[in-house]
């Protein structure tokens, strides 16, 4: 499509282009390409280069359901223990980053956009983001800044890192790269640290910040509104549809619990304790004397 004039690109050409992408690209890649092309043609319309956007009503072709890996709780615990065991300065830093990603469940751009001014004690204030080594001040995926709760052990890990970090000024980055003041690139940090630990431990689930967010949502799906607020979603539908993944064991337990409740209602009614009559004790026939009186041991005469 690179040799086609802009004015010659129409709905049919783009439909055939996306049909060819099906065999080479996954769902999320195709969705991003569609978004970028739509934005490009919107600009062309605004500049009067074309009359209308050919991407306007172009649907994505059917693809296989996108893979949504979830990190098992046991694997998460193993990865955290391995990260904690590194007592070097960078190890203390990386352990704090991993705990923030696992339990604060923030996006990678939000982790590496944190400044020390964002540390509010019991919360982190998410208001900056970093992408490909560049800091975007007062800019996040959602325009509205938000607070994210910190658990006690993550608080301890962050305090430990603050006591070791060479620059803790309010305006300084919490997790700066080797170049002072330059944010980490998420991909580089993951490949050199967390993903390397995952390979050494034999963890098959890809370790990314997106997987950590999805795992948090999946393992806490019974509190959907709380998870929505923690992840910073505007709608609980986004949380439920894009992040929460069904857990087969939980689905089975739900089915068995429902079946047991229905079966119990259809079972024959058993009398309650209050309705049960106490058993009647049979009295043994008492011995009588010649006059018809009950014979007692005191009346017995021994010879």
Same domain, 193 and 230: yes
Q: Are both 83 and 144 inside the same structural domain? A: yes
Tokens 């509190």 — which residue? 223
Closest to 68 measured CA to CA, from 274, 237, 239: 239
Q: Which domain holds residue 175?
A: 73-243
Residue 254: pLDDT band with limits 50, 70, 90: confident
Highest mean pLDDT among 19-33, 36-50, 155-169: 155-169
pTM (two decimals)? 0.70
**Residue tagged 């994505």 (tokens):** 60
Give 247-251's long-range contacts (Cβ < 8 A, gap of 24+): 247/70, 247/218, 247/219
190 found inside a domain:
yes
Contacting residues for 49 by C-beta, under 8 A, at least 6 apart? 6, 7
- The CATH number of the domain holding residue 208 is 1.10.443.10
Contact 175, 93 (CB under 8 A): yes
Q: Which of 222, 190, 2 is nearest to 98 (CA)?
A: 190
Domain boundary residue, one of 66, 88, 114: 66
The reply to whether 92 and 186 lie within a common domain is yes
Residue where a domain stops, chosen among 37, 66, 95: 66
Residues 89 and 233 in one domain: yes
User: Are 234 and 87 in a shared domain?
Assistant: yes
Which residues 6+ apart lie within 8 Å of 219 measured at CB?
70, 73, 247
DSSP structural state of residue 59: P
Q: What per-residue confidence (pLDDT) applies to 303?
A: 46
Q: Is 203 within a domain?
A: yes
- For all residues of the chain together, what is the average pLDDT? 85
**43 and 172 assigned to the same domain:** no
């Amino acid at each position: 499509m690179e040799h086609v004039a802009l004015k010659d690109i129409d709905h049919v050409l783009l439909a055939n282009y996306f049909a060819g992408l099906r065999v080479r690209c996954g769902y999320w890649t195709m969705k991003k390409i569609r978004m970028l092309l739509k934005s490009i043609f919107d600009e062309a319309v605004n500049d009067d280069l074309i009359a209308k956007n050919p991407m306007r009503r172009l649907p994505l072709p059917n693809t296989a359901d996108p893979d949504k890996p979830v990190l098992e709780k046991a694997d998460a615990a193993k990865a955290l223990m391995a990260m904690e065991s590194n007592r070097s300065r960078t190890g203390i830093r990386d352990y704090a980053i991993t705990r923030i990603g696992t339990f604060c469940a923030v996006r990678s751009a939000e982790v590496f956009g944190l400044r020390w001014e964002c540390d509010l004690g019991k919360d982190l204030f998410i208001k900056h983001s970093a992408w490909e080594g560049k800091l975007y001040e007062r800019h996040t995926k959602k325009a509205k800044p938000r607070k994210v709760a910190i658990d006690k052990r993550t608080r301890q890990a962050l305090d430990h890192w603050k006591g070791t970090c060479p620059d803790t000024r309010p305006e300084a980055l919490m997790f700066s790269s080797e170049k002072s003041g330059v944010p980490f690139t998420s991909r580089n940090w993951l490949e050199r640290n967390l993903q390397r630990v995952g390979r050494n431990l034999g963890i098959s689930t890809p370790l990314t910040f997106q997987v950590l967010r999805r795992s948090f949502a999946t393992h806490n799906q019974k509190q959907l509104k709380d998870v929505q607020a923690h992840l910073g979603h505007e709608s609980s539908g986004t949380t439920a549809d894009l992040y929460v993944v069904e857990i087969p064991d939980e689905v089975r337990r739900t089915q068995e619990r429902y079946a047991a409740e229905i079966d119990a209602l259809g079972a024959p009614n058993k009398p309650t304790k209050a309705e049960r009559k106490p058993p009647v004790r049979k009295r043994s026939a008492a011995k009588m004397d010649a006059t018809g009186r009950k014979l007692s041991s005191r009346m017995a005469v021994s010879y």
